[in-house]
Amino acid sequence: MQFRKTSAALAAVLTLSIGATACGSGGDSASGSDKITIGIKFDQPGLGLRTTDGKYTGFDVDVATYVAKELGYSADKIEWKQAPSAERENLIRNGDVKFVVASYTINDKRKAVVDFAGPYFLAHQDLLVRADDDSIKKAEDLNSKKLCSVTGSTSAQNVKEKLAPKADLLQQGGYSECLTGLENKGVDALTTDDSILAGYAAQKEHQGKFKLAGLKLSDEPYGIGLKKGDKELRDKINAAIEKMKSDGSWDKFVEKNFGPANYKNEPAPQITEK
């Protein structure tokens, strides 16, 4: 009888122990976990893309892998988690990821919910047009043109409300539909962050077909999102970003992922989130 009670007590302790481990936040070498979970986009060529063979590529993936290494996690210890735009804050708050690197623009609304390290990249809203089209040199030129973006895009609304109110706006479910329309001359331009546009233009099947208009219609400083109040982690990530810039890795990652699009990126930005 005593043996049964002891066994039951041990089982209860084990259950509590396992449960506590399962509730951990995204991996932490200090807590004994040898894995780290990082949120990225799975559907943005050049930034964060899960390929058909299950690999992960893009500038954000390279940055995240570099930062993870500086935190003590080799590439094979990273577990990638899809971080759609609308879910990024929830993933961080719920502890489903340690941090998020997913074309994540730093702004005051988001900073009320999560903290950021960085920025590690400065993008701008721009237009992608056909390589042989010289009729769009400024935003106002869209007033008589067909403009494509994804449903709910703030970039499209920015153009429609502030820059070219007479543009014929077509909203699609994804950027690939817009690219098809652009190639087939169904639309005249696609708008979103220039880094995202460059990622699409750099894909092998698109090289030479499109070009960026080179318009800086907004500033989009990309930061690494993390749990609010975790200053220790933010300081470590900022140190990793600084090292990445100083040792030439940042430039290498930019050239590798955006170079084929002839994308004129901004220099690596100064860190503001401390």
Q: In 112-248, which ranges are continuous DSSP H helix?
A: 154-158, 175-183, 194-201, 231-246
Residue 12 scores a pLDDT above 70: no
Taking residue 186's Cβ as centre, other Cβ atoms within 10 Å add up to: 13
DSSP 3-state of 256: helix
* Residue 67, token pair as written in the block: 């930062």
Per-residue DSSP letters for 184-221? TTS-SEEEEEHHHHHHHHTSGGGTTTEEE-----S-EE
In sequence order, the β-bridge partners of residue 44 are 48
Contacts of 175 (CB under 8 A, 6+ apart): 150, 190, 192, 196, 200
Residue 207 scores a pLDDT above 50: yes
Distance between CA 167 and CA 148 in Å, rounded? 10
Residue 29 scores a pLDDT above 70: no
123-174: pLDDT as tens digits: 999 999 999 999 999 999 999 899 999 887 788 888 889 999 999 999 988 8
Taking residue 165's Cβ as centre, other Cβ atoms within 10 Å add up to: 12
Mean per-residue pLDDT, 50-64:
96
Task: Give the length of the chain.
Answer: 274
CATH homologous superfamily of 125-212 equals Periplasmic binding protein-like II (3.40.190.10)
**Closest C-alpha to 238, from 32, 71, 40:** 71
Full-model pTM: 0.82
Dihedral, CA of residue 48, residue 50, residue 52 and residue 57, to nearest 10? 50
Residues of the chain with CATH 3.40.190.10: 30-123+220-261, 125-212
19: confidence class by pLDDT, cuts 50, 70, 90: very low
Contacts of 21 (CB under 8 A, 6+ apart): 33
**Closest C-alpha to 25, from 95, 89, 77, 93:** 95
60-115: pLDDT as tens digits: 999 999 999 999 999 999 999 999 888 999 999 999 999 999 999 999 999 999 99
Domain at 30-123+220-261: CATH code:
3.40.190.10
Contacts of 140 (CB under 8 A, 6+ apart): 163, 164
- Cα 134 to Cα 129, 130, 156, 189, 196: the distances in Å are 9, 9, 21, 12, 21
In sequence order, the β-bridge partners of residue 193 are 125
Strand arrangement of the beta sheet that strand 115-123 belongs to: 78-82, 36-40, 99-100, 220-226, 115-123
Residue 4 scores a pLDDT above 70: no
